[in-house]
């Protein structure tokens, strides 16, 4: 998931301007760089994009980091929802990284992000799906109808207040990156992928980074008890996408040793 506004969204069925990113899937980190580089663009139809210099994803990802990265292991308040095999796998990963990782507590101003997400995404979803709600709400899923219903009851003051909280929270994260850490390390999901096609899984471990517009990459570095992959999520500062992918490539290689 790149920095918010890095890849333009025309043609995307928009649910939430604040939260919708164009995400990429690939076989390797290097392939992600190949995909991302030509997709970064300014598009006047997407108000969150802006003109920017070419980002040399492939070149940066192919380089070795100047120094071995230092990671901030952030559990977030959602750690209580992590499966036991996820917790055990991260304990092993932290041990393997040794002095390259430090556990960092989430600062108080970010702890309400999950309630802000409900307000912001709910209100924007209700607005963007207003036609579907008016013309065919009976054909929407129960889950979607409930989300839209809650969003329609969000008051303007609450929506604007939640939006105003995001800038200072990201500012604190930016300071964390500038002072010491190359990337945040956290689970991609509570556990392995759920069975069936009814759900893509629980997004609670990505909510905060999505709200702040920060880039994140998930790599299947570990295995759950059922043999399915467990994702490790790396998060970086805005517009640090290429360096984040380089850090992810380093981590994949380090764990494979």
- Residue-range domain boundaries for the chain: 29-256
Which pLDDT does position 201 carry in this prediction? 83
CA atoms of 225 and 146, how far apart (whole Å): 34
Can you list the residues of the chain whose pLDDT is less than 50?
A: none
CA atoms of 179 and 153, how far apart (whole Å): 41
Which pLDDT does position 64 carry in this prediction? 94
Which pLDDT does position 42 carry in this prediction? 97
What does pTM read for this prediction? 0.94
Which pLDDT does position 197 carry in this prediction? 80
Instruction: Decide: 177 and 237 in contact? Cβ < 8 Å.
Output: yes
CA atoms of 19 and 173, how far apart (whole Å): 18
Instruction: Decide: 28 and 210 in contact? Cβ < 8 Å.
Output: no
CATH superfamily assigned to domain 29-256: Amidase signature (AS) domain (3.90.1300.10)
């Amino acid at each position: 998931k790149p920095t918010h506004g890095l890849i333009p969204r025309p043609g995307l069925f928009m649910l939430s301007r604040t939260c919708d990113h164009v995400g990429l899937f690939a076989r390797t980190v290097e392939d992600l760089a190949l995909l991302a580089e030509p997709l970064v663009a300014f598009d006047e139809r997407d108000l969150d994009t802006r003109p920017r210099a070419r980002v040399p994803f492939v070149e940066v990802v192919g380089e070795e980091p100047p120094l071995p990265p230092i990671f901030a292991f952030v559990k977030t308040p959602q750690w209580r929802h992590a499966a036991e095999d996820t917790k055990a796998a991260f304990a092993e990963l932290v041990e393997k990284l040794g002095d390259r990782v430090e556990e960092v507590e989430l600062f108080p101003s970010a702890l309400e992000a999950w309630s802000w997400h409900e307000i912001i995404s709910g209100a924007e979803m209700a607005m963007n799906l207003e036609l579907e709600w008016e013309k065919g709400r009976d054909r929407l899923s129960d889950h979607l109808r409930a989300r839209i219903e809650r969003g329609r009851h969000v008051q303007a003051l609450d929506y604007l207040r939640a939006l105003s909280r995001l800038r200072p929270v990201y500012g604190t994260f930016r300071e964390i990156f500038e002072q010491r850490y190359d990337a945040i390390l956290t689970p991609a999901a509570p556990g392995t992928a759920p069975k069936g096609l009814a759900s893509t899984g629980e997004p609670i471990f990505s909510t905060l980074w999505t709200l702040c517009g920060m880039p994140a990459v998930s790599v299947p570095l570990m295995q759950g008890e059922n043999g399915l992959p467990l994702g490790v999520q790396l998060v970086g500062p805005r517009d640090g996408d290429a360096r984040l992918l380089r850090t992810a490539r380093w981590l994949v290689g380090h764990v494979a040793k």
